[in-house]
A and B are shown apart, each in its own frame.
Chain A
């Protein structure tokens, strides 16, 4: 029974991953990633880690993917060209990925970890439940826990600063990359220094 669920979830995860890579439209890529994340949550449940599975579904497939959907809807789904900019790029990427897969598998499976080919040891009843994870987080891993919360705060502030900076109104708005690259060093000091002052209005204004 467990093997059946494992193979169903594994096939779902692989198909979702291939869908992310192969879909032309970024919107379909996001949807494929959501199905991939649900399959991974099933695999986490099979590994008796209930809290990670719940966090995967709620935080990842819920919140983060909504962010992706919003940005895809805002940016629009630009179609990529189907040709290779570098000849044979797909072939070389496939070859390199194949060797990477063989290498990782060989490295892990030939390691000295004897318990790899077993089912794992018997674990107590509350293994992977929120209580166990919470005890670990607040006792043994308190410093990484606080550091990751500070990192989240920094990322949020950085994203606001990045997304809120007004594009320099000028003739180079419609130009390509090259022309803006030449004018950027001159325009950067004026544009960068008054940024905190000029950002107070768009920050306070309702989005």
Chain B
């Protein structure tokens, strides 16, 4: 398969993740949609690595996976903290930081 198929697929997956972040209101599902977008970027990185023919893009993808793990850990910690304070798990209600 040519590389541009992978790139277009990555754009499509990124777009689906963006729709999820715009539409859903549960913070957990928003985190999952963030994972979708990060994985779409990973696919693009690995595809470009194959296109150039060296492995540096794959190292990039691995670092992105590390960043995603950190983001998951902190985000899920926040969700657990919100839940333990018995606040609603809905990003439309959690609007204190919006100013």
List residues of A whose CB falls within 8 A of some B CB. Answer: 2-3, 6, 10, 13-14, 17-18, 20-21, 26, 29-30, 33, 36-37, 40, 43-44, 46-49, 51-52, 55-56, 59-60, 63-64, 67-68, 71-72, 74-75, 78, 80, 85, 89-90, 92-94, 96-98, 100-101, 104-105, 108-109, 113, 115-123, 127-128, 132-133, 136-137, 140-141, 144, 148, 151-152, 154-156, 158-160, 162-163, 165, 167, 173-174, 176-177, 180-181
Interface of A is mostly: helix
Give the contacting residue for B13; candidates A14, A26, A105, A117; CB below 8 A.
A14
- Contacts A18-B16, A75-B83 given; does A33 touch B74 at CB 8 Å: no
Q: Which residues of B contact A151 (CB under 8 A)?
A: 66-67, 70
Given contacts A43-B43, A52-B58, A71-B80, contact A120 B73 (CB under 8 A): no
Instruction: Looking at the assembled complex, report how far the CB atom of A138 sits from the nearest CB atom of chain B, in whole angstroms.
Output: 11
CB distance from A6 to the nearest CB of B (A): 5
Residue of A nearest to B35 (CB): A33
Residues of A within 8 A of B94 (CB): 177
Question: Which A residues are in CB contact (< 8 Å) with B66?
Answer: 148, 151-152
Residues of B at under 8 Å CB distance from A? 1-9, 11-20, 22-26, 28-29, 31-33, 35-36, 39, 42-43, 46-47, 49-53, 55-56, 58-59, 61-63, 65-74, 76-81, 83-90, 92-96
A37 near B47 (CB under 8 angstroms)? no
Closest-CB distance, B71 to chain A (whole angstroms): 8
> Of A10, A18, A120, A136, which contacts B53 at CB under 8 A?
A120
Give chain B's interface secondary structure class.
Answer: helix
- B23 → chain A, closest Cβ, in Å? 5
Complex CA distance for A63 and B73, rounded to whole angstroms: 11
A194–B13 Cα gap in the complex (Å)? 45
CB distance from A194 to the nearest CB of B (A): 18
Q: Chain B residues near A152 (CB, 8 Å)?
A: 66, 69-70
Q: State whether B61 touches A155 (Cβ < 8 A).
A: no
Please indicate the chain B residues that have their CB under 8 angstroms from the CB of A20 in the complex. 16-17, 20, 29, 32-33, 36
Whether A116 contacts B17 in the complex (CB less than 8 A), given A128-B58, A177-B95, comes out as no
Check A165–B15 contact: CB distance below 8 A: no
Give the interface centre of B20, B62, B63, B65 by most chain A CB atoms within 10 Å.
Answer: B62
User: Can you name 24 A-B residue pairings with CB atoms under 8 Å?
Assistant: A21-B17, A47-B49, A49-B46, A49-B55, A55-B62, A59-B65, A59-B69, A68-B31, A74-B80, A78-B89, A90-B23, A97-B19, A97-B22, A109-B8, A116-B2, A119-B2, A120-B51, A121-B52, A136-B55, A141-B56, A144-B63, A158-B73, A159-B74, A176-B88
